[in-house]
Structure 1
Amino acid sequence: MTTRTEATFFPPIPEAQRWLHGVSFPQDRPLINLAQAAPADPPPAPMLAAMAEMLAEPTSHLYGPVLGHPALRTALAEDWARHYGGTLYAENFGITAGCNQAFAAALTALTTEGDEVLLPVPWYFNHKMWLDMSGVRAVPLPCNDGLIPDVEAARALITPRTRAIAIVTPNNPTGVEYPAPVLRALYDLCRQAGIKLIVDETYRDFDSRSGAPHDLLTDPDWDQTLVQLYSFSKAYRLTGHRVGAIIAASDLLHQVEKFQDTVAICAPPFGQKAALWGLENLAQWKAEQRDEILARRNTLAAAFQPLADQGWKLRGLGAYFAYVEHPFSMGSADLAPLLVQKAQALVLPATMFTPAGDPTGDRCLRVAFANADADRLRTFVSRLAELDLARLRPAS
């Protein structure tokens, strides 16, 4: 017997890390690791100082409320209302052990064995993995040349078993920021079909657009259709403390509470305290981090322009990500491990974000630049420019 867990694929990040085993890098050409989309630096010094004081508080080491500390839920509701408009309450917010758990909890509350969820292709691999392990069918939703979900294709794919359309914006893996009219069209489609629109906004804080990226929360009955997901990991460098959130109807969160209590009891209280401190004290610092990420985005866009003559194409760029079309005849699953040897660079093949056999996966690579400054990004692009196309083509 094959279990549902055995039937899904191995997590891509650990898989890619295996390509480094036994490989040594010249001192003048160290590895440029552009595989994982998470900041490696610790939180800023003022937050670390505050966290040191929190560590001495007894409640930092105890179970807390299953759906999160009331103070954090209230502060997040106020923050969300300021950013998006509309009326939001603490009971619309549930705190989870990271955004991946937010997705898992929401989908567990919404689906059962044999149900279907539409995922735009390329998709975030952990979303696909969770659906596989839940016995829920992930239905590939095509995107257009701009890597934006096709709303009419989504309409045609909805069946009586469809429970949701799940999207990520700014997108992982492509970096593309979905336009507000597209989100509105998907929302209207889901409302008409009686299903949920799940919007994962893990990278919201690095969106290049000023103001709210959509107006869906201004609808008085938004909670009948919309489920939003968020992460504190990226904005405040709290990746190891696992703090995420679900924004949804209170009755759906009541069902999520069952999942939370069974799997994690509650999100880590220490991380929740740090997240609250960040919300209350780090607005300016967070804005500066956004400016830095946008500057890296601009650096990468400029550096890639000369590569167009070699056949490279920047398909998507935003948040922490670039989605790059390569010019080689080999597929990306073969090319990505080879780049460790030839370019001393670790990136992920798009085959890790697409259905098996999807030809678009063979053509692209995902570049995650959360931990690469402008100089390293320019070095990475220069190494790509040095690659010998003929020698990288497999023998016919």
Structure 2
Amino acid sequence: MRDVPATNPWLAAVEPSPIGETKRWVQGRDFPADRPLIDLSQAVPGYPPALELRQHLGTLLLDPSVHGYTPILGLPTLRDAYARHLTEFYGAPITPGEVGITSGCNQAFCLALMSIAKAGDQVILPRPHYFNHDMWIRMQGIEPVSLDFRPESGAVPHPDDAAKLIGPRTRAIVLISPNNPTGAVYPAETIHRFYELARQHGIALLLDETYKDFLPEGTRPHALFSDPGWRGTLVHLYSFSKVFALTGYRVGGVTAGAPLMAEIEKAMDCVSICPPRLGQEAALYGLHNLLPWARKNTEALKVRADLLGSGLARSNRWRLVSLGAYFAYVEHPFNGQRSTDVSKRLADEENLLTIPGDMFGAGQERFVRLAFANVPDDKIPTVLERLERFGA
């Protein structure tokens, strides 16, 4: 007799999230005051939500009317505000009926994929991949088809390489820009070519732009929404977590044509009934009041990225592959050593917690991801010093 019910083999075959594993490397350790742990493992803002937002939510919680369910795809006021935000940002009309609010961007991806692909289908996934995307694809019995970037490309995948991977079972191409884990910002022309490739083959382009708010001010990353036919190809994913520092609130968004949104709504109703009300209220307040606050944080993060990037550029050991938003993707200097071993030793010997590249897919053994958003500017020189000293 089994001790537990039989598990879903698709789920059981998927390895746990690497975040938990890397956190366990330092669990229970004490760190000296002169060499504290510097955590570069998880993409979290280095600051709390704005004080005025926290005060607003504190007052709102006293209102008895804000504690019940909302419509499945979110508050109408938030859907309207988000549609207007997207319309202004991309310079093309997007209606409230074409957006839905989700419990974070991960859920937006899960619902969108569930609405597009079934077990036995294939989805093209750039490698290194965001591990939660790869995990969910495999959990659904869908086959991820890896798309590797070319050497010296700055970790930007090439549409011509994707074209060779499209087959009769392909249902979608997934892109993230600015990218997680590499930080690479895909040129508008590259995004457009992927869109055209997907359109020509009658498959979806799932475009995750969680980090769009960390592009330089005035940057329009693409013009896909200006194509009148975008609803037949594009599914856009977003998170309010990073821009307004709401990671624990779980609030994201999905944008798609009305027929696909109807399928997403059915799945959303079964998964969580509606997004968390408090997270929706926080996102709504942010869109109405906090975009200037968010822009100041973006400018500060750019300074931090420049500090890290310039330091890595001076290194004759660690090679910077790509840098943007919250992340730097670097090639480590230890030939023949897996990045997991390198990252473990970094944690043990230098009190630097990183995520090794081989947790983002096969063939990434030479790389390490540095998530620097939560590291204060004055700690960046320490990060660089520890990297240079390590194994020298």
Normalising by structure 1, we get a TM-score of 0.95
Determine the C-alpha separation between the residues in 2 that align with 1:40 and 1:299: 16
In structure 2, the CA distance between the partners of 1:59 and 1:161, relative to structure 1 (3 Å rule), is farther
The 5 A counterparts of 1:58-69 are 58-69=64-75
Deviations 1:258-301 (A, max 9, x none): 11110100100111011000000012101101101111111101
Match of residue 377 from structure 1: 380
Q: Which of 259, 265, 268 pairs up with 1:260?
A: 268
The 5 A counterparts of 1:188-203 are 188-203=196-211
Match of residue 392 from structure 1: none
State the shift of 1:40 in Å: 5.0
Question: Structure 1 unaligned runs (5+)?
Answer: 390-396
Deviations 1:179-207 (A, max 9, x none): 00001100000000000011000111102
Q: What is the count of residue pairs matched by the alignment?
A: 383
> Could you tell me whether the CA contact under 8 Å between 2:90 and 2:220 is conserved in 1?
yes
State the shift of 1:150 in Å: 1.6
Determine the C-alpha separation between the residues in 1 that align with 2:17 and 2:66: 31
Determine the C-alpha separation between the residues in 1 that align with 2:37 and 2:66: 38
The 5 A counterparts of 1:83-232 are 83-145=89-151, 146=153, 147-208=155-216, 210-232=218-240
> Could you tell me whether the CA contact under 8 Å between 1:59 and 1:269 is conserved in 2?
no
Corresponding letter in the other structure for 1:347: T
> Could you tell me whether the CA contact under 8 Å between 1:325 and 1:363 is conserved in 2?
yes
Q: Counting helix residues as a fraction of each chain, which structure ranks higher?
A: 1
Match of residue 24 from structure 1: 30
State the shift of 1:209 in Å: 6.2
Determine the C-alpha separation between the residues in 1 that align with 2:266 and 2:65: 22
Match of residue 41 from structure 1: 47
Corresponding letter in the other structure for 2:278: F
- Classify the secondary structure of the residue corresponding to 1:240: coil
> Could you tell me whether the CA contact under 8 Å between 1:350 and 1:362 is conserved in 2?
yes
Quote the RMSD (CA, aligned, Å).
1.1
State the shift of 1:376 in Å: 1.0
Determine the C-alpha separation between the residues in 1 that align with 2:58 and 2:27: 36
Determine the C-alpha separation between the residues in 2 that align with 1:116 and 1:261: 26
> Could you tell me whether the CA contact under 8 Å between 2:46 and 2:376 is conserved in 1?
no
State the shift of 1:42 in Å: 2.1
> Could you tell me whether the CA contact under 8 Å between 2:210 and 2:237 is conserved in 1?
yes
Corresponding letter in the other structure for 2:359: M
The 5 A counterparts of 1:289-368 are 289-307=297-315, 309=316, 311-329=317-335, 330-355=337-362, 358=363, 361-368=364-371
Question: Structure 2 unaligned runs (5+)?
Answer: 1-5
Deviations 1:116-156 (A, max 9, x none): 00001111000000001000100001212221112111111
- Classify the secondary structure of the residue corresponding to 1:139: strand
Is 127-136 or 146-155 further displaced after alignment? 146-155
Determine the C-alpha separation between the residues in 1 that align with 2:278 and 2:391: 50
Determine the C-alpha separation between the residues in 1 that align with 2:343 and 2:114: 34
Determine the C-alpha separation between the residues in 2 that align with 1:123 and 1:175: 12
- Classify the secondary structure of the residue corresponding to 1:38: coil
Match of residue 243 from structure 2: 235
Determine the C-alpha separation between the residues in 2 that align with 1:378 and 1:131: 39
- Classify the secondary structure of the residue corresponding to 2:164: helix
Determine the C-alpha separation between the residues in 1 that align with 2:91 and 2:33: 52
Match of residue 9 from structure 1: 15
In structure 2, the CA distance between the partners of 1:11 and 1:177, relative to structure 1 (3 Å rule), is same
State the shift of 1:235 in Å: 0.5
In structure 2, the CA distance between the partners of 1:318 and 1:12, relative to structure 1 (3 Å rule), is same
Determine the C-alpha separation between the residues in 1 that align with 2:108 and 2:28: 36
Match of residue 258 from structure 2: 250
Deviations 1:49-107 (A, max 9, x none): 11111111223221110011110011111110111011110001010000000000000
- Classify the secondary structure of the residue corresponding to 1:159: coil
Determine the C-alpha separation between the residues in 1 that align with 2:28 and 2:75: 46
> Could you tell me whether the CA contact under 8 Å between 1:313 and 1:325 is conserved in 2?
yes
Is 328-337 or 66-75 further displaced after alignment? 328-337
Match of residue 284 from structure 1: 292
Corresponding letter in the other structure for 1:331: R
State the shift of 1:302 in Å: 1.5
> Could you tell me whether the CA contact under 8 Å between 1:86 and 1:220 is conserved in 2?
no
State the shift of 1:208 in Å: 3.2
State the shift of 1:43 in Å: 0.7
- Classify the secondary structure of the residue corresponding to 1:251: helix
Normalising by structure 2, we get a TM-score of 0.96
State the shift of 1:234 in Å: 0.4
Match of residue 394 from structure 1: none
> Could you tell me whether the CA contact under 8 Å between 2:126 and 2:146 is conserved in 1?
yes
Is 223-232 or 36-45 further displaced after alignment? 36-45
State the shift of 1:19 in Å: 0.1
Corresponding letter in the other structure for 2:189: P
Determine the C-alpha separation between the residues in 1 that align with 2:66 and 2:130: 32
